[in-house]
């Protein structure tokens, strides 16, 4: 699972990335601060199941605070994209390639209205422009990849009677496109089954739909803490009612996470408050209280950073979190309680889970046992979010 942060320059991609991962990356108010992509580990927050078993877990990856389990997920921060990026403008084409492996995009939009379309300082810029141009660039990026081979490719699949969806999925495998996604898109578009006869416009529609399907996008309305932030956020939310738009202040989240790391406060990512733990200087106090009043208490999901990550994975991608656990023994051989928690796509079965744990578990699967109820489940049992299952093998 890889989350890609995208957006024009200077919107706060690296700030969001640093807030989520606490990795050391460069942040600055001039465009193209980031050139080489940053990879790091952030966390998804779920209600841990340890409380139901009256215990405290010891995750081998991630952590658990007040029975909120933080499950690791890979995040990537890339160079800013400007209009024309798919044709090589700005830092251009090769930087789009950094995004190939992403499963989902978080589009960071600067709602302060103080950066123009290229990320340069501006006044009263309308950030709702950015939503459209970025989608267009991403769609054109897919289109260009497809167009390079289209005519020969379409003819070849027809002549050799290859399965079109399979052939497209193969062509796009580097972009993590699978056959099912291609089939879904074809079904929805209802174009003729002779792709060589498609117009360029049809190919663009096809590429766009495929992009949307294989790399869905959520909007983080960042810099909500600024003067024009709330107004511009509302505008975007109204204008793009089909998109999920979350108000966000990456800068505030970063300040809170850093203060928590330094032991100054206790702050659980995604919560609407924090507790002061050490004597603060008046400057620190002022800065943190301002965040409390203007961001945490004002917005339903606090700074929004945790909400954006969770929504991207659990709502947009519809993934679920599943724990390997047995009713009698919640620990591993080293005595760690509920050490693992895995993210799986919606619709995954008990057998998929077994294979995910180990090929041998999949091959020798007999049944799964629900650790809560001790009910036995067959291989076709469809997993639910926060399921705890033991796999019994031959
Ligand atoms: N007010 C406010 N400023 C922010 C917020 N997030 C980021 N910034 C500021 O926005 C500027 C750009 O931040 P970066 O994180 O470097 O932006 P970027 O999108 O990575 O930019 P490039 O790497 O150039 O594409 C910096 O001055 C940040 O401090 C926020 O939530 N609120
Ligand atoms: Mg950056």
How do residues 46-102 score in pLDDT, each as one tens digit? 999 999 999 999 999 999 999 999 999 999 999 999 999 888 888 777 778 889 999
How many C-beta atoms surround the C-beta of residue 232 within 10 A? 24
Residue with tokens 């027809």: 158
Residues with CB under 5 A from ligand 2 (ion): 13-14, 33-34
- The fold for domain 146-208 equals Helicase, Ruva Protein; domain 3 (1.10.8)
Give the tokens for residue 345. Answer: 């796509």
Q: Which CATH number fits domain 320-393: 1.25.40.10, 3.40.50.720, 3.10.20.30, 3.40.50.920?
A: 3.10.20.30
Question: pLDDT-derived band of residue 231, with 50, 70 and 90 as boundaries?
Answer: very high
CA of 384 to the centre of ligand 1 (A): 37
CA angle 337-47-297, nearest 5°? Answer: 135
pLDDT digits (tens, 9 = 90+) for 329-344: 888 888 889 999 999 9
Q: Which residues line ligand 1 (CB under 6 A)?
A: 7, 9-15, 27-29, 31-34, 79-80, 119, 222-223, 225-226, 249-251
Structural contact between residues 217 and 189, judged by C-beta atoms closer than 8 angstroms: no
Task: With a cut of 80, say whether residue 369 has pLDDT above it.
Answer: yes
Ligand in closest contact with the CA of 29: 1
Least confident of 11-15, 98-102, 156-160, 360-364: 156-160
Q: Of all atoms in ligand 1, which is nearest to the CA of residue 34?
A: 23
pTM (2 d.p.): 0.96
What's the rounded mean pLDDT across residues 203-221?
96
- Which protein residue has the closest C-alpha to ligand 1 atom 12? 10
The average pLDDT across 302-322 equals 97
Q: What is the largest CA-CA distance in the chain?
A: 75
Q: Report d(CA 359, CA 352) in Å as an integer.
A: 10
What residue spans define the domains of the chain?
Answer: 2-135+216-313, 146-208, 320-393
Give the ranges where 117-163 is alpha helix by DSSP (H).
128-159
For residue 118, the ligand closest to its alpha carbon is 1
Residue 150 — very low, low, confident or very high, per pLDDT cuts 50/70/90?
confident
Residue of minimum CA distance from atom 3 in ligand 1: 223
Residue 371 has pLDDT above 90, yes or no: yes
How far apart CA 258 and CA 288 sit, in angstroms, is 11
* Same fold across 146-208 and 320-393: no
Which of 3.30.360.10, 3.90.1570.30, 1.10.3720.10, 3.40.50.300 would CATH assign to domain 2-135+216-313? Answer: 3.40.50.300
Nearest ligand for residue 254 CA: 1
196 or 221: which leads in pLDDT: 221
- Give, using CA atoms, the residue closest to atom 5 of ligand 1: 251
User: Does residue 193 have a pLDDT over 80?
Assistant: no
| Residue 104 β-bridge partners | 3
């Amino acid at each position: 699972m890889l989350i890609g942060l995208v957006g024009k320059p200077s919107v706060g991609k690296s700030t969001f990335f640093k807030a989520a991962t606490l990795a050391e990356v460069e942040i600055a108010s001039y465009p193209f601060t980031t050139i080489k992509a940053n990879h790091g580990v952030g966390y998804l927050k779920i209600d841990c199941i340890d409380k139901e078993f009256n215990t405290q877990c010891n995750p081998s990856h991630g952590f658990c605070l007040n029975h909120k389990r933080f499950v690791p997920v890979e995040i990537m921060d890339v160079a800013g994209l400007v209009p024309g990026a798919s044709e090589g403008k700005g830092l251009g084409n090769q930087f789009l390639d950094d995004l190939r492996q992403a499963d989902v995009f978080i589009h960071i939009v600067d709602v302060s209205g103080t950066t123009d379309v290229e990320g340069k300082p501006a006044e009263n810029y309308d950030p709702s422009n950015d939503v459209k141009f970025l989608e267009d660039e991403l769609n054109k990026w897919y289109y260009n990849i497809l167009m390079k081979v289209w005519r020969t490719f379409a003819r070849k699949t027809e002549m050799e009677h290859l399965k079109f969806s399979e052939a497209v999925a193969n062509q796009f495998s580097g972009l993590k496109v699978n056959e099912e996604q291609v089939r879904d898109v074809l079904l929805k578009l209802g174009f003729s089954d002779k792709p060589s006869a498609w117009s360029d416009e049809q190919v663009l529609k096809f590429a766009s739909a495929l992009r949307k399907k294989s790399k869905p996008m959520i909007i983080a309305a960042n810099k909500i803490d600024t003067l024009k932030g709330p107004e511009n956020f509302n505008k975007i939310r109204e204008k793009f009612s089909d998109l999920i738009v979350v108000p966000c202040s990456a800068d505030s989240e970063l300040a809170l996470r850093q203060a928590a790391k330094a032991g100054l406060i206790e702050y659980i990512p995604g919560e609407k408050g924090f507790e002061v733990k050490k004597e603060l200087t008046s400057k620190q106090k002022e800065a943190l209280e301002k965040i409390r009043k203007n961001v945490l208490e004002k917005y339903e999901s606090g700074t929004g950073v945790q909400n954006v990550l969770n929504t991207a994975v659990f709502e947009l991608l519809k993934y679920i979190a599943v724990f390997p656990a047995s009713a009698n023994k919640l620990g591993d051989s080293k005595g760690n309680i509920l050490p693992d928690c895995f993210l799986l796509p919606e619709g995954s079965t008990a057998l998929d889970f077994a294979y995910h744990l180990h090929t041998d578990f999949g091959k020798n699967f007999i049944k799964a046992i629900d650790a809560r109820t001790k009910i036995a489940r067959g291989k076709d049992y469809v997993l639910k979010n926060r399921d705890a299952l033991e796999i019994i093998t031959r």
